[in-house]
Amino acid sequence: MAITRDEVAHLARLSRLALSEEELDTLAPQLDVIIGAVARVAEVAAGDIPPTTHAVPLTNVFRADITGPSLPRTDALAGAPATQDGRFRVPRILDMDE
C-alpha cells in the first residue's frame, strides 16, 4: 500500500511544515520506500529471539580502577593563579545569604 502525495501533504500540515509541490512529489515515493523497509524489519522480528543491543558481546575495555600515587599538592597548585590554605582560590559566585 503506497503512501500518497495527499497523505504526505497531510503529514506536513500536522508537522507544520511548508512543503512545495515539488517536495511533495519527491517525498511521497521516498516515504513509501522507508515505510516498506520498516515493514520488512517487522516481518523478520521473531518472538523467540531475545532483544539485543549489540550484535556481538561487549567486554569492558577499561583497566581496573587501581589506587596509585597522586600528584603532590605543591605541584598541583604550582600553576594556579591564586591559592589559599593549600587549596585553589576562586572568586565567590554565590551570596552567603541565599
Question: What pLDDT score was predicted for residue 80?
Answer: 93
**CATH numbers and ranges of domains, the chain:** 5-44 (1.10.20)
**Maximum Cα interatomic distance, the chain, rounded to a whole number of Å:** 75
Question: What pLDDT score was predicted for residue 15?
Answer: 94
Question: What pLDDT score was predicted for residue 86?
Answer: 92
pLDDT-derived band at 45, boundaries 50, 70, 90: low
Question: Coil, strand or helix: which one is 69?
Answer: coil
47-67 confidence digits (pLDDT tens): 777 777 888 887 877 888 899
Rg (CA), the chain: 30
pLDDT-derived band at 98, boundaries 50, 70, 90: low
Residues 6+ apart with CB under 8 A from 28: 2, 3, 4, 5, 7, 8
